[in-house]
Amino acid sequence: MKANVINPVTQVEDGLLYDANHDAEIILKRKKAKEACFNFNSLNPAKETEKRQILTELLGSHGKSLTIESPFHCDYGSNIYLGENFYANHNLVILDGAEVIIGDNVFIAPNVGIYTAGHPLDPKRRAEGLEFVLPIKIGNNVWIGGGVTITPGVTIGDNTVIGAGSMVNRDIPSDVIAVGNPCKVIRTRSEEDSQREDFHRR
């Protein structure tokens, strides 16, 4: 992950507290993203060209092959960078106060949350609307199962599978299958996996 990054959305270093709820410029950026998401989610699924145009204007970048099923929600959009052949099923939520960088050939199942934002443990500062953000990075050829939550600062390596319902609150290496709350590696991916037909078994 990058160190000492001045976040283009918050204008502060990632990991430091900032005012997310009373800063007029930040609120305006969030409002524009919410309007774009509303327009995207309201379009008929057959309006593929229009939906793609909204995503192109909303996201930081994306590859040529891009599918995001409605509904989709994000905070800013401009901090989301998607690789080639990206697919996300219904109800993807990305809170992108910090960068969310996703590699090529990533598949995301329904009801997944990717959250870069967190709040102070101290209730007084939390009530003041302060928060922090930490970037999230997901490598190439990753499959994220349904109902997964990914928390601030996490990196997931290449070729990894995250089992459904997992709470990912720590880095997960490449070439593994990981699942649970908290998410833990249960085994490494093997060549035998390419020959298997009983994909429902871990």
- Structural domain includes residue 144: yes
C-alpha 125/C-alpha 121 separation (Å) is: 8
User: What is the number of structural domains in the chain?
Assistant: 1
Q: Among candidates 42, 68, 71, which has minimal Cα distance to 55?
A: 68
Active site residue 90: no
Given 62, 73, 90, 119, which residue is catalytic?
119
pLDDT at 2: 44
Asked if residue 202 belongs to a domain, the reply is no
CATH no. for residue 35? 2.160.10.10
47 assigned to some structural domain: yes
Which pLDDT score is estimated for 1? 40
Domain holding 69, by residue range, is: 18-192
pLDDT given at position 49: 96
Q: Token digits for 90? A: 């219904």
d(CA 19, CA 126): 10
Task: Please indicate, yes or no, if residue 4 is contained in any of the structural domains.
Answer: no
In a domain, 7, yes or no: no
In a domain, 94, yes or no: yes
In a domain, 197, yes or no: no
Per-residue pLDDT of the chain (202 residues; tens, 9 = 90+): 444 678 888 888 999 999 998 999 999 999 999 999 999 999 999 999 999 999 999 999 999 999 999 999 999 999 999 999 999 999 999 999 999 999 999 999 999 999 999 999 999 999 998 999 999 999 999 999 999 999 999 999 999 999 999 999 999 999 999 999 999 999 998 777 666 665 555 5
Residue 144 β-bridge partners: 108, 162
Asked if residue 95 belongs to a domain, the reply is yes
